[in-house]
Every structure is written in structure tokens, then in C-alpha cells.
Amino acid sequence: MNTLYLIGPLEVLKGQFSAHDFSHARTSLDGVNAVIREDVTDDLQKALETQGVQCLDHDDTIALLNGTASSGIWYAPESEEAQ
Amino acid sequence: MAKNYSNILKDIDTIIVAANAVNGAAGNVDATGPLVFPMKYFGFLSEPNQMKIAAKARLIREGGGSNLQKGYDFKATSETFEMLNGEAAVVEKYLNTNCDIYLFGRDQVHRIKSVFPEVQIVGDLGVKDKQTVSLMCNDFPTSYADNLELNGVNTTYLTTIPQKYKTLMESIYRPGIVFETYPYLGAFNQTTKLFDASASRVAGSLFNTPVWSAAPIGAPYQILTFDGVSMYADFGSILNDDGVSDLLIEIWFKPVGADGSTQKIFTKKNSVLDNTAGFGLYRFTNNSIRFIMSNGTLSATFVTASTNNTQNIWKHFAISIARSGNMQGYTNGAVDGTAVSVASITTGTNAYGLRLAADQGGSFGNVAVAAVRVSNYGVGGLPSNVASIISQNFNAERTILGV
């Protein structure tokens, strides 16, 4: 059992983790994808990955969601003009 | 009028601590109402009728709320608390009881022992069987940790820690405080709530399970860590910048995320990197600390000269804001950077929540937070000795964070 960040389609995650409180889960700006932190077995991880869910550790999750490539996708585009 | 608490307590066998409303809201102690911590009113009671009197007094002051919890002796820490609906039920339950001193709230019941708050007695309810029944109020700013104890915590904690808290809070400059939350005082058995201990008494929400752990000084002092992915605290839309009131914001934090990354720390803003109305504090990519105030079209940003706000280093950052003049930042009690004018920035009012470790734009902070304090001094009211105040507050708390 590993505790991982699961990043993928919100509906897939809701279907698999019905007990999870998604009301304040972080979602992509379009609301299609979400990230939650859950315990998963190796088999479940493989099953999730076949449904488009990435199962990542903390550092990789930070790199994926907070990196510049996620601007406009996972967080509002940020302008340094205000600096 | 000051009174000798030991005299008041003499021969009193039952003390009921009534709950308070959050922001004075009505319906304060029912199951669906707002949280009720820290206390605001309590009465000294020696038998059920007096409890009823106190309950009425509380209802009159707060305009609502009729449910109280029954408190238990915490010798059996696994006991749950029973909700009592209505004064009649409360009176019935307390008939022939001989309980200790209790603080009542929807999610918490705390027993007070040995340490008593700096309260103002707002009126005696009367004398019953030669026992004074007093209604007390701690309306003026005080910390919930001044006088409270936790359910199930060991005896050492019960008898000594509140004293430490009390001493600590007395060393903080308190005039003007409108918001203060102290993760370093501990979780108070909460996993989804974080309390504002100021007179405003807002109950914030913790989302996606931020992690409590021991502060550098050791238990029971704690810190609250946010993962930078989805964890945050939200206190609702409070502390709007009205564009004219002078402010002082202080925060104890440490970046946990990698150096060279932007980390959101304390915001009431869509993004701290645009001109949307509001304010926000963050660690920037060059490891400086920045504070932005925006009115929707214009922004002013204070930038620390220091760029050593790096991973796992605790810092006390404070920013004084003379709303018709300049804002000036301080790190660990000393000036850090060049003052920036905010005179042209009109009100930053918005509907966003006041947040720790996130903004409203989907950006988060991998940071730990130990305390946040906001003071509002009104128009032109920033104390001339604000630098001394900041230094005083920094020195009062620094040992907790090992600084």
C-alpha cells in the first residue's frame, strides 16, 4: 500500500473513491481533472493508470501541478507585470 | 471591576462555561450553528436554576442559541458529549450533578482547572444560598489558550501549559488585533478547524488535511504544514482592505517547498501575481518575501531585500501598512527592504476567502505556519512605534520556533 497523489479525471476518481470528500479537492481550472491523496495498492494503481490517472509522489506532483506548464491548466495564469 | 477569583470560587461546586457565538452570530450552540470557541461568556453556578439564569442571560446578549452540551469529567476520555436541547433539558440533566468547570461548545468541551482567564465581570446574577453567581465576559481580546485545557491531555499539560500560554499572550502587543490564529498553540483536537482567537472569533476551515506536528521547541507547541498541492485553510471573506485603515500583518512561517519556487503563504486575492483586488503574501522565486496590495487595476508590491527565505527556515515576517503612505516589511523583527507607497491603491475589497497556503487562483504553498496576527489601527492610526511592536512580538515568540 502506497500513499500517493492521484491526478486524473474527476469522475474516475469519484467512482473509485466514493468516500473521499471532493468538495474541496483541487481541480484543474476547467474542472475536468482533480488531485487527491489516497492509499492505493499496486493493483489499484495499475487500474487507475489505465483510466488516465497519474499516481505520483509529492515531489513529482508539485512539479507537475505547480510548474509553468500547468499555468492556465491547474492554476490561473500569473503575470509578473504586477511585480 | 477586578475580583478575586479564588474568593468567588470558594464553596462553588459547579461552574458552567457557556458558549460564544462566532462573530456574534445567533444560534450559537445548536448543532448546525457556527463553532463556539473560544469562550465569550460564562457563569458561576451552584445549582440548576442558576444555570438557567445564566443561559437566559447569554441568550439575551447573543440573541439566539438554546442548546448546550453536557460536560463530563474527563477521567473517561473516550466519552462522547450529549447534546441537550433547550434549557429545560439542561436543567434536568444538571439536577444533582456535581461537575467541575466546563467550557461548552458544539465541537469541543474543555475543562478549566487551576488557571482562570483575565475576565471582566459584567454583572452578578445574584446570591443564592450565600453563593455569588456571576456572569463573566472576556470580550476584550484574549487567547483561547489563556485558560483552557484539552480533553484527555496529561496532568502536566493541564496544570502548566495554560500558564505558559497566558504568559506568552501577555507579552504580545494586543491593541488593534482583529485576527489571530496560533497553530503553535496546538490543534485543540481539531482536524478540520482552525480558530481565530481575536475578538472576531472566526472559525476557519482546514481542507485536505494539513499536517500537525511538533514545533521546534517541542510538544505541546505545534505547527501546521501544507503540502503545496491541495491543502489550505480558509477563514471566509474577512479582513477586506478598505483602502484607508492602517494595518499590521505578522506571520510565522517556513517554506517547505524547494528553494527558487513561488509559495503562497497568506492571501485574500485571486492570484498574488496579478492586479486582481486584494492582498497576498508569498515567497517568490528568488527566495524573497513579497506582499502585494491591489485594487483591481493597480498594485503595489513590497519586496524584502533578503533572499534567504529558504527551505525549512522559520521566519517572522511583518508588514506595517500606513494606508495613505507606505508599507514596510520586517523580517525577524528588523527592517528588510525599501518602503513602498500604497497611497494610490484604493480599496482591495473582494469576495475571496482569507487563506493560508493558497490563493483563489488554484495556486498553493508548500509551507508551514505557526501564527498569523492582523491588527487594524484605523485611519492614520498606525502606531509610531510599530517597529518596536514588531520587535517585541518577534522576541516573544521566537523561542517556540527555535529562532
Chain segment A15-32, per-residue pLDDT in tens: 999 999 999 999 999 999
Say what the ipTM of the complex is. Answer: 0.93
CB nearest to A76's CB, from B362, B364, B366: B362
In a mutagenesis test of the A interface, which of B192, B227, B230 is the best target, namely the one with the most A β-carbons within 10 Å? B230
| CB contact at 8 A, A4 and A37 | yes
| CB contact at 8 A, B43 and B54 | yes
3-state secondary structure string across B27-41? CCCCCCCCCCCCCCE
Kindly list the residues from chain B whose CB atom is less than 8 angstroms away from the CB atom of residue A58.
227, 229
Question: Å from A71 to nearest chain B CA?
Answer: 9
pLDDT of residue B279: 98
pLDDT of residue B68: 27
Evaluate if pTM is beyond 0.90.
no
| CB contact at 8 A, B379 and B322 | no
CB of B229 less than 8 A from some CB of A = yes
| CB contact at 8 A, B77 and B152 | yes
What are the φ/ψ torsions at residue B398 (nearest 5 degrees)? -60, -35
Per-residue pLDDT of chain A (83 residues; tens, 9 = 90+): 899 999 999 999 999 999 999 999 999 999 999 999 999 999 999 999 999 999 999 999 999 999 989 999 999 987 654 44
Q: What is the number of CB-based contacts under 8 A between chain A and chain B?
A: 69
